[in-house]
Copies of this chain bind each other. A is one copy, B any other.
Amino acid sequence: MERDGAILWLTGLSGAGKTTISQQLEHKLRERDRPVELLDGDAIRQNLSKGLGFSREDRDTNVRRVGYVANLLSRNGVIVIVSLISPYRSVRDELRATLNNFVEVYINAPLEVCEARDVKGLYAKARSGQIKSFTGIDDPYEAPLSPDITCHTAAETVDESVTKIMTWLESAGY
């Protein structure tokens, strides 16, 4: 059944650049005629996880659920890009241990940089208490210990990050 699908799991803080990188990556892969699907945090919350909140338990349920869907696609030859904060190490490691072709991509930017960008204004709301359980502010983010790929988005351009991922995929034989 395996037909060279993969799960590119982009984890990182809000504002680290996951969405931007995942969209450009999707574009690049489509250009090369690869079947690709992008599962982005917001679309996931809308279509797969309505009703789940941001407790650890709900976040873990969300991550497992997205992993389940990503695996269905990946084992049918699709390169799946997941863009999701997914702050807890243990459930990411669980996916890595149970899913084929799981690639952990750490979108790494310092909290100060993400907060200064604050593209969606969420950090301001979290600081003022309008939003609770916000990763990096009053909820933990557990950085990957040995990610397959790390993109340092405070130091790299988006193009550089995307190229790094594409190069990794090529050298890994995808």
| Partner-B contacts on A (CB < 8 A) | 1, 35, 37, 47-48, 50-52, 61, 64-65, 68-69, 72-73, 76-78
Contact = CB atoms under 8 A, between A and B. Distances in A.
Contact of A68 (B47, B64, B73): B47
24 contacts: A1-B35, A35-B76, A35-B77, A37-B72, A37-B76, A47-B64, A47-B65, A47-B68, A48-B65, A48-B68, A48-B69, A50-B61, A51-B51, A51-B52, A51-B61, A69-B69, A69-B72, A72-B72, A73-B73, A73-B76, A76-B76, A76-B77, A76-B78, A77-B77
A109 to B, nearest CB: 29
Nearest to A30: B1
Contacts of A48: 48, 65, 68-69
A104 to B, nearest CB: 21
A37 B35 CA distance: 17
Contacts of A50: 61, 65
Contacts of A72: 37, 69, 72-73
Nearest to A64: B47
A75 B53 CA distance: 29
Nearest to A78: B76
